[in-house]
Amino acid sequence: MWHQQQIHFETGGRETIDITAKVSSIVRESAVQTGLVHVFMQHTSASIMLCENADATVRDDLETLIGRIAPDADPEYRHDYEGDDDMAAHGRSVFTSNDISLPISAGELALGTWQGLYLWEHRYQPHHRNLMVTIQGEGFG
């Protein structure tokens, strides 16, 4: 069984958006009982990220850390045509991830207790983001 659909999010500029409920609902609609769901970000300046979902300060601190790894407006950047966040966004994307696969067990996303799936927008301005969700696995019987 294969199920594939593109989903869309309007971001408000640099931020994290919890997409767990959306992906979970697509998993349920697919009727796959045992399998995998693959989530793919079709852009190079935003990420797919799995992290702790109980306390928003975790994502504040991740913002602090990634701002050191791929700083805005770094004086050594050559690629800065679209502003201070242009190259930073590409770096933030490469040092995190654009794709993830998650297990499906008993028809549900098999995440740990405190795991949430996030879209991480790296640009300052709001963007329209396309994600491709691909589900495969076995159904009942």
Binding residues for its own copies, per CB under 8 A?
2, 4, 34-36, 38, 40-45, 49-52, 55, 57-58, 60-62, 64-65, 69-70, 74, 76-79, 81, 87, 90-91, 93-103, 105, 110-112, 114-115, 130, 132, 134, 136-138
Rounded least distance, CB 13 to its own copies, Å: 19
Min CB(22)–its own copies separation in Å: 17
Tokens of 59: 């994502």
Beta 34-41 vs 15-18: how paired, if at all? Answer: unpaired
Q: Which is nearer to its own copies, 25 or 82 (CB)?
A: 82
Could you tell me which of 82, 47, 43, 83 has the C-alpha nearest to residue 63?
Answer: 47
Residue 28 or 88 having the CB closest to its own copies? 88
Taking the least distance from each CB to its own copies, the nearer of 24 and 115 is 115
120: nearest Cα among 78, 76, 83, 85:
85
Residue 136 near residue 33 (C-beta atoms within 8 A): no
Residue 21 or residue 101: which is nearer to its own copies going by CB?
101
Strands 46-52 and 115-121: antiparallel
Q: Minimum Å distance from CB 39 to its own copies?
A: 10
CB of 18 to its own copies, least distance (A): 14
Which strand ranges, in their side-by-side order, compose the sheet holding 128-138? 2-10, 128-138, 34-41, 99-105, 108-109
